[in-house]
Structure 1
Amino acid sequence: MFKKLILLVVFMLVNVVYSQEISILVFSKTAGFRHKSIESGKQAVQKLAVKNNWKVVYSEDSNLFNDQDLSKFDILFFLNTTGDILNESQQNAMKSFFAKGKGFVGTHSATDTEKDWPWYVDMLGATFKSHPKQQKATLHINKEHGHQAVAHLNNKEEFFDEWYNFKDPVAKHVNVLATLDESTYSGKQMGMVHPITWYHHYDGGRVFYTGLGHTNAAYSDERIVKQIEEGIKWAAKITDVNTLTNKWTNLLKGDPYKNWDVFMGVPHNSVKGLPNVDPKSNGMKGEPLGLNKDPKKVFNFVKEKKDKHSVHITGEIYGALTSKQEYENYHLKLKVKWGEQKWAPRLDAKRDNGLLYHCTGPFRQFWNVWMRCQELQIQETDMGDYYALGGATSDVPTVTVEENGKPKKVYGIDGELKAGSSKRSFDNEKKHGKWNTIELITYNGTSLHIVNGKVVMALFNSRHHVKGMGTSPLTRGRIQFQSEGAEIYYKDILIKSINGIPKKYNKYLNQ
């Protein structure tokens, strides 16, 4: 008995140590249909809060949606909200909440909320249209992302719920975790593919949604409660999704839209064939075209052999091909070559389309189009240079190595950043029109920029500035390929996880 008591105490202490305290605002205001299951949902969340040492506030007061009050929370949980529940200033406060890297969780009728607010519709990924009677249906579970919200489920699961048909196809920028098998119930309207649970990154924040949760019984179903629990943990950055292994993954294989989003910036005044282009636009100020809105087809996936693709970027409008996933501790390898076309406002400048990594925060952080990030510069004669965008920074010391029996400085400008940038040690780019191999190796805040097999830059202590709090590590994020006024081609974009910087590069790591 005494031993069992000791083990119980140890178990409880371990749970306390490894539980990460977060604050959640469970918001259940309704301006339309009110679900009787809201109270059951609150009870389920409260049990999870006790289990995980979370702080939870339950409210239907929209006045909490201001910068000061929302700053107290890590997660917004829209529990079966409905209708138009936020005014314009409250909506802006919610946008600011996302911009600070916070998280959002929505259940069931969160998609029947703020249906006339475009930002919210894009953020959530779908809008409720209709539903048939409550009934059983089979869900197909997608585990390829490694998301813990579905790790406990079988490949097929049957649930009883109220199954939503959405107004439009679910947005391309979401990562689908479960789809409804429309052959297993009546009243379906979405077609062959009917997502019902998903996650994604949006405007700086993390978003998790499940269409389950109409009934009281749903919040007593351990499968659904576990899904909500893990959705909260991911949205709060307690857990991460890692889609990589130690083997190379081709990010242009199969359906490329499975791995990539496109964000388009502000058209320059020289852009033709688009409505409402500001005749005074410099390509930076104004309203961006937005997420997966590329009317000029600046980004194009070209089908190659064996289900692989290449990427053609025209460069006409500033934009970013952006990975749907965040990555950390990896080796990225790709091939790149220049095209011929150049566009205003860079007609007289070098061709330039950088590789951005550790990208976090909203789009529009830099020049109204790119995220906060580190940059491996891809520019004519300057491949491998370093730039820091949107508040990012790194240490770039000069390092001397022995080459052909003689000492040589291999990167940095006297070990200092100048205006957020640093030159590579030498130009190792091939002649115009030839394919170049670019590699990025990044591990725990240290990064190597490698051009055609040669290390031309090393960075240490990757971090970003946090307003009023100094700096914070910047070691994880999305990947972006710029469109910045020049035609360019990419192919063979390969990535794999690593457990450290390969030993053969040790000579570059001595600060």
Structure 2
Amino acid sequence: MALLAIGAPAATQRSTEQARMIAGEPVTAPQRLTLTDLPAPTGERISLFDGASLTGWEPWLGYADPSITYQDRPGATPIGVSRDTSGDFAVRSVDGAPAIWVKGETWGSLVHRADLRDYHLRLEFKWGARTWAPREKLPRNNGLLYHTHGRPGEVFGTWRPSTEFEIMTGSTGMIVAVGGKVRGHTDVTYDPSLAAPHLRFRAGGREIDIVNGSPTWNVEAATDAERPVGEWNILDLYVVGDHAVHVVNGVPVAEVRDLATIAPDGSRTPLTHGRIQLQSEGAETWFRSITVEPITTLPRIVVEPN
């Protein structure tokens, strides 16, 4: 999930100043991160895609015109499940094998029915050829949303509240709070080369609270580990309780902890389980080899000497 525009220059300047205050001065040397202490599975590996159908997956579509998605009062009703979605999500053959095809033209998601906790999820994805308005000229965009809960379309009429493992060219692995009720902590540095909010994951950096609708609504991946468009990528998501690690093609790129939901009275409830969503957000995308296995510990991110 990525907003369509950064906003007016004055607002952007305020956001830049806020980000600098939050994260401090930029760190010039990028980190080289590796993953150690990979957890041993404590049970059977299960496939969430049977290779033949969308059994176990529930579709949901947002607005017929995706450009109104982020408006407070869009003046329209989400499509939901009121039409046949086989032209939006389907199982098709690509590179000689079946995969889940997401057209991307109408925004929405496929939500798996399984309520998952304490797991290692692995999937493969690659971009298709098509991109669609209003993002046809912007970076290709999709997302793996986890700890999904709440009502269909609760967020912008299109998604359910969740934490996002962003899938976007140049930003795969970014952390995003999907919905105003989701929170999480991570460590960052200020990176002026990024669009607002200018925050990049940095192991040992300054701790922030990820809050949608605030200057800390997302945190960019530590590095761009995605392969070129048209090639398959492997994503690994490790989740134990309210703590998760994002890995792209074997490279750890982000870590988020203290995931929680916030009640109207401000009380914080740990977010430790939920469904997953595969987004549709303006770019044709293929998914395959989607598996989960139970774990009880997380891998450790190590900073290598430069």
- In which range does the TM-score fall when normalised by the shorter chain? 0.7 to 0.9
For structure 2, list consecutive stretches of 5 or more residues without a partner in the other structure: 1-40, 190-200
Residue of structure 1 equivalent to 2:37? none
Deviation of 1:414 after TM superposition, in Å, equals 3.7
Amino acid at match of 1:327: L
**Distance between the aligned counterparts of 2:83 and 2:218, measured in 1?**
31
Structure-2 separation of matches of 1:412 and 1:491: 34
**Residue 124 (structure 2) aligns with:** 335
Q: Secondary structure at the match of 1:258?
A: coil
Identify, as 1 or 2, the structure richer in strand.
Answer: 2
1:302 corresponds to which residue?
A: 92
How far is the alpha carbon of 1:411 from its aligned partner? 4.5
Is the radius of gyration larger for structure 1 or structure 2? 1
2:289 aligned with 1:497: no
Q: 1:378-418 CA deviation, whole Å, 9 max, x = no partner?
A: 0001000000011211100259xxxxxxxxx8458743344
Give yes or no for the alignment of 1:318 onto 2:104: no
Does 2:201 align with 1:415?
A: no
SS of the residue 2:54 aligns to: helix
Question: What are the superposed Cα offsets for residues 211-256 of structure 1, whole Å, 9 maximum, x if unpaired?
Answer: xxxxxxxxxxxxxxxxxxxxxxxxxxxxxxxxx9722212111653
Taking structure 1 as reference, are residues 454 and 506 closer, same or farther at Cα in structure 2, changes over 3 Å only? closer
Rounded to whole Å, the distance in 1 between the matches of 2:65 and 2:205 is 34
Decide whether aligned partners of structure 1 residues 253 and 295 sit closer, same or farther in structure 2, where only a CA change above 3 A counts. Answer: closer
Q: Is the 8 A contact 2:188 2:219 kept in 1?
A: no
Equivalent AA in structure 1 for residue 80 of structure 2: G
Q: Which residue is 2:142 aligned to?
A: 353
CA contact 1:411–1:424 (8 Å) conserved in 2? no
User: Once the 2 structures are TM-superposed, how far is the Cα of residue 325 of structure 1 from its aligned partner?
Assistant: 1.5
- TM superposition shift of 1:357: 0.3
Do the aligned partners of 1:262 and 1:294 also contact (CA within 8 Å) in 2? no
Deviations 1:86-120 (A, max 9, x none): xxxxxxxxxxxxxxxxxxxxxxxxxxxxxxxxxxx
Deviation at 1:348, TM superposition (A): 2.3
What amino acid is aligned across from residue 392 of structure 1 in structure 2? V
1:224 aligned residue: none
* 1: CA distance, partners of 2:98 / 2:178: 29
Separation (CA, whole Å) in 1 of partners of 2:240 and 2:188: 19
Contact 1:357–1:477 (8 Å) recurs in 2: yes
- Residue 282 of structure 2 corresponds to 485
**How far has the Cα of 1:293 moved from its partner?**
3.7
How many Å separate the matches in 2 of 1:374 and 1:309?
A: 28
Contact kept? 1:412, 1:422, Cα under 8 Å: no
How far did 1:291 drift?
3.1
Partner of residue 428 from structure 1, selected from 225, 245, 266: 225
Deviation readout 1:182-229 (Å, 9 max, x if unpaired): xxxxxxxxxxxxxxxxxxxxxxxxxxxxxxxxxxxxxxxxxxxxxxxx
User: Which residue of 2 is the match for residue 130 of structure 1?
Assistant: none
How many equivalent pairs are there? 242
Rounded to whole Å, the distance in 2 between the matches of 1:378 and 1:506 is: 20
Q: Is the 8 A contact 2:146 2:164 kept in 1?
A: yes
Superposed CA deviations along residues 469-494 of structure 1, whole A, max 9, x for unmatched, are 42111111110010001111111111
2-structure distance, mates of 1:461, 1:295: 36
Distance between the aligned counterparts of 2:82 and 2:131, measured in 1? 23
User: 1:326–1:346: structure 2 CA closer, same or farther, 3 Å change rule?
Assistant: same
Q: Quote the residue 1:282 is aligned against.
A: 68
Would the aligned equivalents of 1:256 and 1:309 in 2 still touch at CA under 8 Å?
Answer: no
| Alignment partners' CA distance in 1, 2:203 and 2:284 | 28
- Does the Cα contact within 8 Å between 2:44 and 2:294 map onto a contact in 1? yes
| Alpha carbons of structure 1 residues 411 and 263: separation in structure 2 relative to 1, 3 Å | farther
CA distances 1:299-326 after superposition (whole Å, capped 9, x unpaired): 11125899x8411111010110100121
Q: Once the 2 structures are TM-superposed, how far is the Cα of residue 506 of structure 1 from its aligned partner?
A: 5.9
Q: Cα offset for 1:340?
A: 1.8
Counterparts of 1:11-26 in structure 2, within 5 Å, are none
2:164 pairs with 1:367? no
Q: CA 1:294 to 1:320, structure 2 compared with 1: closer, same or farther past 3 Å?
A: farther
What SS does structure 2 have at the residue aligned with 1:492? strand
TM-score (norm 1): 0.44
- Bigger helix fraction: 1
1:473 aligns with 2:270: yes
Aligned partner of 1:260 among 51, 57, 67: 57
- Show CA shifts across 1:51-85 (max 9, x none): xxxxxxxxxxxxxxxxxxxxxxxxxxxxxxxxxxx
